Structure 1
Amino acid sequence: MRYKLINEAAERTYALIMDSGDEAVSSLQEFCEQQGISAARFSAIGAFSSVVLGYFNWDSKDYEKIPLREQVEVLTLAGDVALHQARPKIHAHVVVGKRDGSAHGGHLLEAYVRPTLEVMLIESPGHLQRTLDAESGLPLIDIDASGAD
């Protein structure tokens, strides 16, 4: 993965370009850890050779995996970064398009880039934190715990 800082204002903006074979979620996680990014939002377009989507099952409090083992276009990918247990945590949703024009979407669990994924990541000036939500069992953004106004 290659990246470039393209704006150094109050909200730093990065262009991240992932190449064939890069795993999107772990690459983004590693980038945020290396750059010390604790709060951000991002969007992306590109394509995957395979992707694993997730559907949150409220009853089991776990993600049901939906693997798509074929080339797909990334129609939209959007997410955020917030601290959870002192580390940046990636939360992303994606809609992908298949060859026949059908679309599939969900929580992005794993995806292998082919040929590229173009990510625009905008760092927030305040940090966000996630706190474990007792009802869902998920680490959700907690505005009160976040140092953001």
Structure 2
Amino acid sequence: MARAEHDADLIQFITELAREENIEEGFLTAVGALKNAKIGFYDQESLEYQEMEVNNPCEIVSCIGNISIKDGEPFVHAHAVLALEDGVAIGGHLLEGQVFASEIHLQEIEGPKIERKHDETTELSLWEFE
């Protein structure tokens, strides 16, 4: 359990927390509010992320994800649903999020080693198990 500091980038904070705690495989959830965010939607035809800027304060309705190793470093893969002031929700791959206030639950998972490797079909870095 952790609390991300005000103005921290949520993804960078979780990445650093995983590094400090030596977590190579884990599950995460987060609640709270962001000052702004960047959400990605993976276009399955172009095989590229389309980025959407959220330049307004928003509530984290749901944020779940995982941690694995990519290129020897902890990699956070998180998806979020964010609610705007008018009740409109936006969701996708959480690329960035400037924290207003956030609480994080990070749980280490034990089992086979998981590492992200490039997948030629999707052009994504997907799990491979040792």
What TM-score results when the alignment is normalised by the length of structure 2?
0.94
Partner in structure 1 of residue 27 of structure 2: 41
Offset, 1:119: 0.6
Of the structure 1 ranges 43-52 and 84-93, higher mean CA displacement relative to structure 2 is found in 84-93
Partner in structure 2 of residue 11 of structure 1: none
Offset, 1:41: 0.3
Offset, 1:102: 1.1
Partner in structure 1 of residue 97 of structure 2: 111
Q: Partner letter of residue 7 of structure 2?
A: G
Provide the C-alpha distance between the structure 2 equivalents of 1:58 and 1:100, rounded to a whole number of angstroms.
Answer: 30
Give the unaligned 5+ runs of structure 2.
Answer: none
Offset, 1:19: 2.2
Partner in structure 1 of residue 108 of structure 2: 123
What TM-score results when the alignment is normalised by the length of structure 1?
0.83
Q: Partner letter of residue 110 of structure 1?
A: E
SS in 1 for 2:17: helix
Partner in structure 2 of residue 23 of structure 1: 9
Provide the C-alpha distance between the structure 1 equivalents of 2:119 and 2:74, rounded to a whole number of angstroms.
Answer: 17
Larger radius of gyration: 1
**Cα RMSD for the two superposed structures:** 1.0
1:86 equivalent to 2:72? Answer: yes
Partner in structure 2 of residue 72 of structure 1: 58
- Which consecutive segments of 4 or more residues in structure 1 shift more than 3 A? none
Provide the C-alpha distance between the structure 2 equivalents of 1:31 and 1:19, rounded to a whole number of angstroms.
Answer: 12
The Cα offsets for residues 12-64 of structure 1, whole Å up to 9 and x where unpaired, read as xxx01012101101111111112211000011110000000000012222111
Offset, 1:131: 1.7
Q: Partner letter of residue 99 of structure 1?
A: E
SS in 2 for 1:59: coil
